[in-house]
Amino acid sequence: MESDTVNPPYTANLSHCGIFCRDLEVMKTFYTGVFDMQETDRGEGVTFRFEIVFLSGRDDQHHQLALAGGRGADAPSTVMQLSFKVQTLDHLREARRRALALGATKMRGLNHGNAISIYCMDPEDNTVEIYLDTPWYVSQPHGDPLDLDQTDEAIWSQTERVVRSDPSFMPVSEWAAQFAKRKAALKARSM
């Protein structure tokens, strides 16, 4: 029997992540307070026999972050970074204020050219990035110092000046078109 609906093409999108924690309540307070997430569920895992707290900031996504108990007192973090996207420089400043108020350490700013970011350590020494996209592309890794205490105009002007001087510079729309072309070529080769 033939289906009346067309199957969409295969696309896998990273949806959520989970991290092991020493103190679930401290970590829940940090992530709900900084990112306006809320607890959507909590319980002991069936496969994973430890408590899991599910957090989301979206009504269309049950969880974006799963906090799992069971991290040993002396166990180092294995998280390279957890990244959260915001829309404006003022949102970035607000995230910095909230994170510092809730125990973040090692706060620093980096301008990647294609993104403007702040990085910090959460209360259990996992690296957290909060960023916003720019309309430009430059090859990565790229990182210039970022001073969020400057005006928006000064930050955007400095960013544009730096990225336009980079040999890999292009508008992000051009980079996206090149990406789509490469993806289509790879798909065509696999058929």
**In angstroms, rounded to a whole number, what is the distance separating the alpha carbons of residues 73 and 149?**
36
Homologous superfamily of the 15-75 domain (CATH): 2,3-Dihydroxybiphenyl 1,2-Dioxygenase, domain 1 (3.10.180.10)
Residue type, 123: P
Same fold, 15-75 and 77-191: yes
Q: Is the pLDDT of residue 21 over 90?
A: yes
Burial zone of 141 (CB within 10 Å; 0-12 exposed, 13-18 middle, 19+ buried): exposed
pLDDT band per the 50, 70, 90 thresholds, residue 187: confident
Burial zone of 98 (CB within 10 Å; 0-12 exposed, 13-18 middle, 19+ buried): middle
Residues in the chain: 191
Domain boundaries, the chain: 15-75, 77-191
pLDDT band per the 50, 70, 90 thresholds, residue 13: confident
Confidence (pLDDT) at 91: 96
Helices (H), 47-123: 89-101
Region at 143 (left for phi over 0; alpha for psi -120 to 50; beta for the rest): beta
Per-residue model confidence as pLDDT tens digits over 135-146: 999 999 999 999
Q: Do residues 82 and 130 touch, judged by C-beta distance below 8 A?
A: no
Per-residue model confidence as pLDDT tens digits over 76-134: 999 999 999 999 999 999 999 999 999 999 999 999 999 999 999 999 999 999 999 99
Residue 39: beta bridge partners? 55
CATH 3.40.50 fits 77-191, yes or no: no
Reported pTM? 0.86
Averaged pLDDT score across all residues of the chain: 92
Confidence (pLDDT) at 66: 96
Is the backbone peptide bond immediately before 141 cis, with ω within 30 degrees of 0? yes
